[in-house]
Chains A and B, each alone.
Chain A
Amino acid sequence: MKVSKAQAWGFDLAVSAIIFLAAAFLLYIYTLNSSSGTDEKLSILSHEGEIVSNTLLSEGYPSNWDESSVVKIGLLTDKKINETKLESFYNLAQIDYGKTKTLFGIRHNYYVNLSESVVIGGSRIEGIGLLDPNSDNLVRITRVSIYKDVPITLTIYLWE
């Protein structure tokens, strides 16, 4: 009986401790998420996402910019995504991702993909920029435009 009682107590204690620790950990995580610091981060990401989306859905500067002359990255010509500009943007991001962030005026990482498949240099690309699916903070922004005479969605991710 004594053994049984002690075993029962020890086992219950172990379970309770695990539960307590788990709850304490989760409480810590919750506290972390609900903090004003997290809200601020998401807000910054959202703001940068709007900057990137609005910039991309413009003509850019100069209006016929290319990789060497670009001041502002905009993909549109006559309200449609210009394939040449899209390719230039892709190349820029491939060569110097950091420069594109600078051109956008953002601090965090971005990733852009289209609902329509995009082929550049004979290869189908998934998107432009960098994406870490496991990132802690991520904002997704969806825009609609016209690419190859088809309405498409343009999805922009901002993350850290």
Chain B
Amino acid sequence: MAIKKRGVFFSIDSLIALIIILLVLIISYPVFFKSEPNVEVHYDIINTFSSLKVSEINNSYVQSLVAQGVINNTNNSLLEQIGEIYVTDINLSRSFSDSIFSELDFGNMNVGIWYGDKLISSLNSTPIETAERIDTARQVISGIKEGGSVSGFSARAFLTSNLRSKYFYFGGYAGDGNITAGVDYNGTINSAEIELAINNDFDLYINGNYAGRYKESPSDFTPVRYNLVGGNLSYFNSGANVIDIKGDNLYIAGGFIKVDYDISGAQYEHASKYSFPGVSGLINVYDGFYVPGNLSALEIYLHFNSSYNTFLNIGNKTVFRNSTQGEQSFLIDNAQLSSLLDYNSLSKNTIPVRFGMENVSYAGNLSTNADVISVSDLSGSMVGAELIAVKESNKILIDVVLNVSGNRVGLVGYSSLAYQDYFHSLSNNSASLKSEVDSWSAGGFTCICCGINRAASEFAANSSIYRLKSMIVMSDGGANKKCDEQNTGNPKNDAIQAACEAHNNYNITVHAVGFGNGADEDTLQQIAACGGGDYYFGSVSELVDIYKQIANNILSALYKEQTILAIGNVYTRLYPDSYIEFSYVKEPPPFGLLTSVEKVFNNAASGSFSVSNDSTIVETKVISYSGPQWTNNVLINEIPIYELGDYGSEYVSLGDPYAINIPNSFIQGNNIVNVSIGISPANYSVGTSSNKIIYTIAKDFLAYSSIASITEGCNWNIQFEDDSNLTISIPSVYSGANVCYYQENIQQYDGNDALQGAVYNLLRILDFNLNNKIDTKFSEQDMQIDFSEVTGIPFTWSTEVQVRTWS
């Protein structure tokens, strides 16, 4: 037993000693080997995997994936390739990564690679969850995201520069008779349009080929537009073309021919020649021309046939006056012209040009007549001989004015008020008017403003802007009754102000007549001055003659419009090869795609247009449908750039440009243009809502899509500024079911489609005022899409790659 006890004791001691030895061994182990954590290896892995490309790696598994077509872009680095596969097949990316990691020997080190929060591959002996120390190297890879596309597409859309538009203007007035215009272009014609304010139906001939009969315009102030289609287009030739407009006593009160044609490589041409329209009938041309720079030389060639003295006025200077013996031509050289004209004043201005015949009668246009209201004093002072003279004078006025068909006369008799009993509305019924005059009797005070206000109301109610409006205010005394409308507190001032308002608000010319010793001449003169009319004074016996003179003057003003009334067998001819050629230093041609835009006026008085910052304005013209009247002035942004009155008050001797150029220096981003028309500096009104601004800009119309995941295309529905619509497939080969809209009420496209995105961005550029209507008209052929589809364009999203080592 004792031995047994000793043996147990020995065994316990040995066991304790052995434990001590093991503990010491564990403690002393480092003396033999110590492995330091390597702080660089994770960076090495990032760098190595970023540097080595798929095409370079000598790894059988990777190359087999390339051979199978699983990997397409062998230019990817290993890091990028693992990322791309990770997006679509995470297990494949793990296999890819493992195949590379397995070749590495990290000893006892734990190494792993993560994409985002996903572990892709690791070589480790202990899990990272138990790590006491972790070192991490990071790198962000753009263009990949779990679940997203790894490559994208970009597309470019642009308009071709082959399409050009060219306008050929007829002038403010071209007549009277058959009219010929030249149309020159070089290229392949796509379309042709003709817009005219023309007085009669007409036949159209293109290079001698009959191209149809067309209706007259609604009025001299409202044009009609025709699209020359089908076979008519085939009559045009590249080069010079002759357009004949034939009919009965035709005149064109403004208009143009527009041709769109394809031409490659041509640059913008600065104008250097004005061509006269051809006229076969009575030569009667009112037009203008514009020199875009400093005029250095001028030459005029006239080719015509007229037994009448025929004259050419440039501005207010007559540079030619002669008749011909049959068909003749004249060349007026620069030496002659420079001695007659001030070239400085012709530079960068639109200059009126008038070519016509002397000693012919200018007749009132059928659509333009006079409305005259006689405002007569019937106060108590008019009793007796004065009243008799007034009645006789008014009857003379009625006879003279109504002698021209279409004219009308109205009557206002006033005393303390403008009584209805002494009023007759505008009428051409001579008997009725005279009966009204006969009913007049005198008595009461003198309320001149009452009479003027009553007449102005009648004009406002029953006249129009197209009629010449005149008022004759007569009195033998002074105003002594006030009007609430003016409310100046003084009867005389009320009368003067009433005249001013009539003229300013309704474009009424107010003449004043004083007679007898009691007439307040000062007030009447101020009435005439503010009313834009004349003042007359005489005795009772002279009153009839005064009224007759006023009536004739009104008719005279009426006659001074542009139309010649043909009498007898007068025949003249102006040939369309007549021209004015001017020289100046031309600016370099603008860079970019040229686009011409027609912008119709917002109303009769004004129009507006905008030029974006990234566009260069090349040319701007305001076209004015002034009918048989003259364009009186043009303002841009309230700055006058054309004043016909600067050349004189006798408009009948002055030209009338249909297209007035606005110098580029006046153009701002947003612009407002005002136009007035008239027959004299004192007799004018607002223009018409048919007026337009035609401007040309140079701009690179080019747009890119953002990076998108697909490239399909779309059937686009596009609305233009003139509310016309175009449906086109873009690209033209697209036959799918996608439908896109760029219209005022709907904007729809798929931003994930690179082609749709590029087209939308281009349309946005072409929508100058961003009202969801395209300002530049184009056809399917003009819209070009560059398929610059680029696979592998990284998306903007990104993923972080981490390589971690831990212990």
Contact = CB atoms under 8 A, between A and B. Distances in A.
A150 B103 contact: yes
Interface stretch (B17-25, B165-173, B708-716): B17-25
A133 B86 CA distance: 42
Nearest to A46: B36
Interface string A21-32: 011001101101
A33 interface: yes
Contacts of A150: 57-59, 103
A29 B24 contact: yes
Interface in B86-136: 100, 103-107, 109
Given A15-B13, A150-B57, A144 B28 contact: no
Contact of B2 (A4, A15, A42, A54): A4
Contacts of B591: none
Contact of A15 (B17, B20, B24): B17
B33 A138 contact: yes
Contacts of B32: 136
Contacts of B279: none
Given A33-B30, A53-B40, A115 B103 contact: yes
Contact of A143 (B6, B17, B36, B40): B40
Nearest to B107: A142
Interface in A110-148: 115-116, 136-146, 148
Interface stretch (A85-93, A96-104, A151-159): A151-159
Contact of A141 (B38, B57, B59): B38
B29 to A, nearest CB: 9
A5 to B, nearest CB: 9
Contact of A42 (B17, B20, B34, B41): B34
B27 A151 contact: no
B733 interface: no
A14 to B, nearest CB: 11
Contact of A153 (B3, B58, B105): B105
Contacts of B58: 148-150
Chain B at the A interface: SS class: helix
Contact of B47 (A79, A138, A148, A155): A79
A29 B78 CA distance: 49
B594 to A, nearest CB: 52
A98 B562 CA distance: 113
Nearest to A136: B31
A136 B31 CA distance: 6
B44 A144 contact: yes
B103 A152 contact: yes
B27 A30 contact: yes
Nearest to A137: B34
Given A22-B17, A151-B52, A153-B104, A57 B36 contact: no
Given A149-B56, A155-B107, A138 B34 contact: yes
Nearest to A16: B13
Nearest to B14: A15
A11 B38 contact: no
Nearest to B35: A140
A151 B78 CA distance: 10
Interface string B36-52: 10101100110111011
B10 interface: yes
B52 A146 contact: yes
Which of under 10, 10 to 19, 20 to 34, or 35 or more describes the interface residues of B? 35 or more
Nearest to A24: B24
Interface string B568-582: 000000000000000
Nearest to B17: A19
A65 B9 CA distance: 72
Contacts of B17: 15, 18-19, 22
Contacts of A138: 33-34
A152 B34 CA distance: 23
B24 A30 contact: yes
Contacts of B38: 141-143
Contacts of B16: 19
A8 B20 CA distance: 22
B12 to A, nearest CB: 11
A142 B24 contact: no
Nearest to A11: B10
A26 B26 CA distance: 10
Contacts of A151: 45, 48-49, 52, 57, 78, 100, 103-104
Contacts of A142: 38, 41, 105-107, 109
Contacts of B78: 151
Nearest to A57: B44
A145 B40 CA distance: 11
A26 B16 CA distance: 15
B6 A8 contact: yes
Contacts of A11: 10
| A54, A143, A148, A153: residue with the most chain B Cβ atoms closer than 10 Å | A153
A60 interface: no
A23 B20 contact: yes
Contacts of A53: 40
A49 interface: yes
Nearest to B100: A151
Nearest to B40: A143
Nearest to A158: B36
Contacts of B59: 150
A33 B25 CA distance: 12
A22 B25 CA distance: 11
Contacts of A29: 24, 28, 31
| B16, B41, B100: residue with the most chain A Cβ atoms closer than 10 Å | B41
A138 B34 CA distance: 6
B51 A146 contact: yes
Contacts of B51: 79-80, 146
A29 B21 CA distance: 12
Contacts of A42: 34, 36
Given A42-B36, A140-B35, A146-B52, A115 B105 contact: yes
| A53, A136, A141: residue with the most chain B Cβ atoms closer than 10 Å | A141
A26 to B, nearest CB: 3
| B14, B21, B32: residue with the most chain A Cβ atoms closer than 10 Å | B32
A79 B47 CA distance: 9
B255 to A, nearest CB: 74
| A4, A50, A80, A151: residue with the most chain B Cβ atoms closer than 10 Å | A151
A139 B57 contact: no
A12 interface: yes
Contacts of B13: 12, 15-16, 19
A144 B45 contact: yes
A144 B24 contact: no
Given A29-B31, A151-B49, A23 B105 contact: no
23 contacts: A4-B3, A4-B6, A12-B9, A15-B14, A16-B13, A23-B20, A32-B31, A42-B34, A79-B47, A136-B31, A139-B34, A139-B36, A140-B107, A141-B36, A142-B38, A142-B41, A142-B109, A143-B41, A146-B48, A149-B58, A150-B103, A151-B103, A152-B104
The 4 closest A-B pairs by CB, nearest first: A26-B24, A144-B44, A19-B17, A115-B105
Interface of B: 2-3, 6, 9-10, 13-14, 16-17, 20-21, 24-25, 27-28, 30-36, 38, 40-41, 44-45, 47-49, 51-52, 56-59, 78, 100, 103-107, 109
Given A26-B25, A152-B103, 10 more contacts: A12-B10, A19-B20, A30-B27, A42-B34, A46-B36, A80-B51, A115-B105, A140-B36, A140-B107, A143-B38
